[in-house]
Structure 1
Amino acid sequence: MGAIVAVILLVSLLAARRVTAPLAGFAAAAERLSVDGQADPLPEEGPRELRAATRAFNRMQARLARFVADRTQMLAAIGHDLRTPITRLRLRAELVDDPEMQRRMLSDLDEMEAMISATLAFARDDAQREPRGRFDLADLLQSLCDDRVDAGHRALYDGPAHAVAEGRTVALRRALANLMDNAIKYGGGFTVRLETGPDGSQHRNALIHIDDDGPGIPEAEFEKVFAPFYRLERSRSRDTGGVGLGLSTARSIIRGHGGDVTLANRAEGGLRATVTLPL
C-alpha cells in the first residue's frame, strides 16, 4: 500500500510539473512582452488548452509588432512629405523684403523642422531595435556626468563604482541624458545618486535620483510634463522651451526597460527625477 501511494504521489508530481512548467513559461513571456515587444514567439507546448492560449498570445504579439511598424512607417512618410513644402516656404521667405517679418517666418520654419525631426525620433526610436545586453550602469552615469562637466556644467555623481544591469545602452544613455539636460536647463546643474537594492520581491532594482537646485514645478504638473509637446515654459522659443519631447522620450525608453521615472519637489528646494530600473 505504501509503495502504491508513493508511486501515485510521484506520478502526480510529474503530471503537475508537466502542466505548470508551460504556465510558468507563459507568464514569463507575458512579462517579457511588456518590456521587449520584439521578443521571440513562445513555443506552443503543453496541454491543448495551453497550446491554444500560447498560439493566441503569439498572434497578439505579432499584431502589436506590425501595428508599431506601420505607425512608424506612416509617421516617417508624413515627415518626409512635410519637409518638401517647408523647403518651398523657406525659399519664399528669403524673398520677403521686410527683415523682421523674414526673421519671424524663418524662425517658425526652423521650429516646424525641429518638431518634425523630434517627432520622428520619438516615434521611430531607433534604439528600440538595439539588442539588450549587460552593461555597467554606474559607469554609464559617471560618463554622462563627465560629458557635462567637460561642457562647463555642474554635474556630480554619487554612488557605487560598479552596478551591472541589463538593457539597451544607447537608449538608456539617451533617456538619462534627457533628464540630466533638463536639470541643467532649469536648475543650472545636478547631482545624480545611484542606489541598488531589492524591490520588495525576489528581484533587485536600481534607483537613480537626479537632483537639481532649480525652482521646482507645481505638483499638479508632475504627470503633465511627460505628455508629448507639453511645456511649462509657454513661449514658442526653442532656445528656452525645446519642443517638449525630452521627458516623453525618457519615460518611454525607461518604461520599455520595465522601469519608470517620477518627479518630486525636494524639501530643500529643487526638483528630483527618480528613475527605477530592474537589474
Structure 2
Amino acid sequence: MPQSLFGRLTLILVIGMLAAQFASLWLHMDERQMLMQHGATHIAGLPSRFWLHLSLTLTTVLFVSVVAVRLVTRPIQRLAEAADAFGKDIDAPSLEESGPAEIRRAAEAFNRMQDRLRRLIAERSRALAAVSHDLRTPLTRLRLRAELVDDESLRQQINADIDDMQAMVEATLAYLRGLNESEPVQSIDIAALVSSIVADEQALGRPVTLIDTPAAHYPGRLSILKRAIANLVDNAVKYGHAAYLGISDTSDALRIVVEDDGPGIPEPDLGRVVEPYVRLETSRSRETGGVGLGLAVARDAARLHGGELRLENRAGGGLRATLILPR
C-alpha cells in the first residue's frame, strides 16, 4: 500500500478502472457463449478492438488520475510545508488561501492560528521584559539592606541566597528569551564554531578535547547553536569530569557529539532530564547542580532547527549527547 495520499488515490482509481474493464471482459465472454449456442460459429475469440479499447482506457485513466490526484493533494502538501516552516520560524509567511472550499477553510484556520500564536509570543515577550525589570529591583534593594545587618555570618548567608535567586532569575529569563529569538539563519562554519568553544574552555583550564573532524557549512542560527553546544560541554565537564567533542557530517544530518567520563544517567531519567528545571543532582546547590536549564536549551535549539537532542549512556561508561541537525 502506498504511503502517500497521492499514491493511494491513484491506486484506488486504477483498481476501479481495471475492475470495470474485467467486468466488461466477462460480459464479452458471456455474449460470445450465447452467440455460439445460437449457431454463430464464426466467433473464434474476443475481437481485437476490445484489447485496443482496454489499452486506450487504461492509458487515459492513468493520465487523468495522476492529474486529478495531483490537483487534490497539492494544497494539502502546501499546508504541510507551511506548518513545518512555521514550526521553525514564527515569522514565516502566511498560507495562500486558494483552492477548493475545504482547502480555503483549512488555510484560513491555519493563518488564524498563526496570527494568534504570534500575538501570544509578542505578549509574552512584553511580559518578560516587565518581569526582568521588576525582579531585579527588589533583589537590588535586598542586597543593599543586607549590608545593614551587623552579624557577618548572617549577612553572608543572605547575600548567598540573593546570589542564588539572581542567578535563577537570570537563567530563567535567558531561557525564555532564547525560545523567542528571531535570529536570522546564516551559513555557519561548524568546525570553526566548535573549535572556538573548545579553545575558550581550554583557556579556562577545563578538560575539553576536540576530535578534529571536518564539516561543511550549516545554515542555522549562530548564537543559539553556540549556546547549545556550550551547555553540553559545560554539563560534560561538571558531571563527567571531561568533555570530548566530535563532528559527524553526512548527507542527511550534521551530528555534534559531546561525550564525558562520568557515571552517565539512569535509563529511566534519560527522557525527562531534558525538561526545564529537572535536576538529578539533589544537593540543590547552584554550584554543583545549576538551575536545570542547560539540556532544555540544547534540546530547544535542536528542535528550532528541525532536529533533536539524543542522550545515551556509553558502553564503557559516561554519557554521549548528540545534537542532530538535519541537512
> What's the TM-score bracket when you normalise by the shorter of the two chains?
0.7 to 0.9
Query: Which of 248, 271, 277 is the aligned partner of 2:319?
Result: 271
* CA RMSD after TM alignment: 2.5
Q: How many Å separate the matches in 1 of 2:207 and 2:132?
A: 36
Alignment of 1:146-165 (within 5 A): 146-158=199-211, 160-165=213-218
Which stretches in structure 1 are left out of the alignment for 5+ residues? 199-203
The alignment covers a number of residue pairs equal to 274
Which stretches in structure 2 are left out of the alignment for 5+ residues? 1-52
Give the superposition deviation at 1:5: 8.7
User: Residue by residue, what CA displacement relative to the aligned partner does 1:103-139 show, whole Å, maximum 9, x if unpaired?
Assistant: 0001111111111111111112277210112323233
* CA spacing shift, 1:52–1:188, aligned 2, 3 Å: same
Identity %, equivalent residues = 47
Counterpart position of 1:77? 130
- The answer to whether the 8 A contact 1:118-1:245 is kept is yes
* CA spacing shift, 1:4–1:222, aligned 2, 3 Å: closer
- The answer to whether the 8 A contact 2:257-2:323 is kept is yes
User: Residue by residue, what CA displacement relative to the aligned partner does 1:20-78 show, whole Å, maximum 9, x if unpaired?
Assistant: 33222211112222222321111222222212111111111111122222223223322
- The answer to whether the 8 A contact 1:36-1:257 is kept is no
Alignment of 1:154-193 (within 5 A): 154-158=207-211, 160-193=213-246
User: Residue by residue, what CA displacement relative to the aligned partner does 1:113-170 show, whole Å, maximum 9, x if unpaired?
Assistant: 1111111111122772101123232332222222222322232333531223222111
User: Residue by residue, what CA displacement relative to the aligned partner does 1:179-210 show, whole Å, maximum 9, x if unpaired?
Assistant: 01111112222112222336xxxxx1122221
Residue 273 of structure 2: SS of its match in structure 1? helix
Residue 38 of structure 1: SS of its match in structure 2? coil
The one-letter code of the counterpart of 2:248 is E
- The answer to whether the 8 A contact 1:19-1:46 is kept is no
TM-score (norm 2): 0.76
Alignment of 1:196-235 (within 5 A): 196-197=249-250, 204-235=252-283
Give the superposition deviation at 1:93: 0.8
Q: How many Å separate the matches in 2 of 1:172 and 1:80?
A: 27
Give the superposition deviation at 1:9: 6.3
Counterpart position of 1:242? 290
User: Residue by residue, what CA displacement relative to the aligned partner does 1:230-259 show, whole Å, maximum 9, x if unpaired?
Assistant: 222233432222222111111112112111
Query: Whose RCO is larger (CA < 8 A, sep 6+)?
Result: 1
The one-letter code of the counterpart of 1:30 is A
Residue 55 of structure 1: SS of its match in structure 2? helix
The one-letter code of the counterpart of 2:322 is T
* CA spacing shift, 1:77–1:13, aligned 2, 3 Å: same
